[in-house]
Structures are given as structure tokens and as C-alpha cells.
Amino acid sequence: MDLTLGYTYRLEEYRTEDAIGSYYGQSLNYSDLDRDENEGEIELAMKTWPKTSLLLSGVMGTIEHRSEKKPDSSYYEILTGLRGKATEKSTVEGKIGYRDSDFDEPADDFGGLVLRGNLTENFTAKDSLRLDYVRTLDDTNYTNNAYYENTFLYGQYRHNFTDKITGTLDGSFQ
């Protein structure tokens, strides 16, 4: 059995004061979207078969906007899935779950399906490739729709030149 704890801090800042429209009767510009996000995760992995582990994850986070024009929120995710060795050099992980987001007034709360998955291929002791897929829900700036479905793809190629020098090439699509 493995227990993993994680913490992520995200800072989102816009470098413009351009207007983006109205939000619950107030004019909104990009700087009103500046925010701090704190997220904690706990994951329990239980080895159920020789090459496969059953996963249970819980995620809890908060979003605090720096402007009073956008409401702060908190969110929770519960996920379950599997992690296993597909081949001698590759590991596959997939999780499915539910996300619930609770907003301060006046925004509407929402919840829905969350999917997460990744594939890691270790070509050699020095070269590896990781591909990630995340499908989640994010809050939006429009009052007629509290959220949107977000699909995020990420890839990273890693080469260890020496024990102390590593190079990475990565990219993402959202």
C-alpha cells in the first residue's frame, strides 16, 4: 500500500486592464480575474494484482480572486482508478471521478465528471516520454454558464545527460 500527498499552488495574473464584459451586473476586466489557487491531494494505492494497483484519490482546493467582482470558491474531487505496468518499460494510470465546486454568492455551484490518465514510457535508463490527459470542469466568466468542460493534453520527453543534468521538451494543448 502506498500513500501519496501532494500540494499545488497556482497563480493566475493578467497583464491588461482590457474590458471583457459584464458579470452579474458589474463590468469586468481581465485584472478582475487575477487569482490564487491552492490544491491538496491525497492518494491511496493498494496493490491488488502483481502489476496493478487500485487507486483512491481525494482532492480539495480553493480559488481566491483578488477582486471582489468574482466570487471565491472551493472544490472537491473524489476519484478511483487503476495504475499498472502495461509492459516492462511502460506504466499506465487512469482515474474517473466527480468534481463538486461551491461558490460564494452570486455564482451557481456546479459538479460533474472528471477523467485523468497518463502513460509513461521509459525507452532507456536515460530517455522517457510521459503523456497526460485531464478532462475536468472549470468556472467561466459568463453568468449564463457557470462552468465549461476543459480537456488538457500534455506531453514531456526527458533525457538525462548525466546524473546531475537533465533536459526536457514538453508541450500542452487545452
Query: What's the pLDDT tens digit per position in 19-28?
Result: 887 777 778 8
- Residue whose C-alpha cell is 501519496: 4
b (16+ CB within 10 A) / e for 4-42: eeeeeeeeeeeeeeeeeeebeeeebeeebbbbeeebebe
Comparing 18 with 39, the larger pLDDT belongs to 39
Q: In the chain, pLDDT over 70 holds for what percent of residues?
A: 97
Tell me the C-alpha distance between 38 and 51, whole Å: 33
Beta partners for 10? Answer: 37
Q: What is the mean pLDDT of the chain?
A: 91
